[in-house]
Amino acid sequence: MTSHTGKIKEIIVLEQAGEDLIEGKKFYNINEEGIGDYFFDCIISDIESIYLYAGVHSKHFGLFRMLAKRFPFAIYYDITDDIAMVVAILDLRRDPSWIRKKLTGKLKK
């Protein structure tokens, strides 16, 4: 996978990243009903911004890491040609070794 800066044509959210998004939504809905939906909408908006800002984010664990605007989450993605693939959406309040392990596991899938 190559380094890339600029517009892309497609964003693919891998199934495992979709599961991360659902887990985050459930977590926030436990605290207060409706916050999970707001979380979901905010993260989707952040993901859509990859169309414009693909490749400008720093790399962590071999993937681009975009920080979510309103929640303490990071969106990890990579770029092949003009396609961005969202690999993970992880809570940054977790231990960095947990994040590393989680990303390593996702990259192997």
User: Residue 1's pLDDT is what?
Assistant: 42
User: What number of CA atoms fall less than 13 Å from residue 94's CA on the CB side?
Assistant: 15
Using CA atoms, how far residue 57 sits from 23, 28, 62, 96, in Å, is: 24, 26, 12, 18
Residues linked to residue 77 through DSSP beta bridges, in sequence order: 64, 86
Residue-range definition of the domain harbouring residue 23: 10-108
CATH number at residue 54: 3.30.2310.20
Residue 5 lies in a domain: no
Residue 23 lies in a domain: yes
SS3 65: strand
**Measuring CA to CA, which residue among 66, 63, 64 is closest to residue 42?**
66
Mean residue pLDDT of the chain comes to 91
- pLDDT for residue 5 is more than 50: yes
Residue 1 lies in a domain: no
What does the pLDDT average to over 58-77? 96
Residue 4 lies in a domain: no
Residue 57 lies in a domain: yes
User: Residue 105's pLDDT is what?
Assistant: 74
Q: Into how many domains does the chain fold? A: 1
Residue 66 lies in a domain: yes
Global pTM value: 0.90
Residue 20 lies in a domain: yes
- pLDDT for residue 73 is more than 60: yes
Residue 38 lies in a domain: yes
SS3 4: coil
What does the pLDDT average to over 71-96? 96
User: Would you say 79 and 4 are in contact if contact means Cβ atoms under 8 Å apart?
Assistant: yes
Spell out where the chain has E strands. 10-13, 59-60, 63-67, 73-80, 83-91
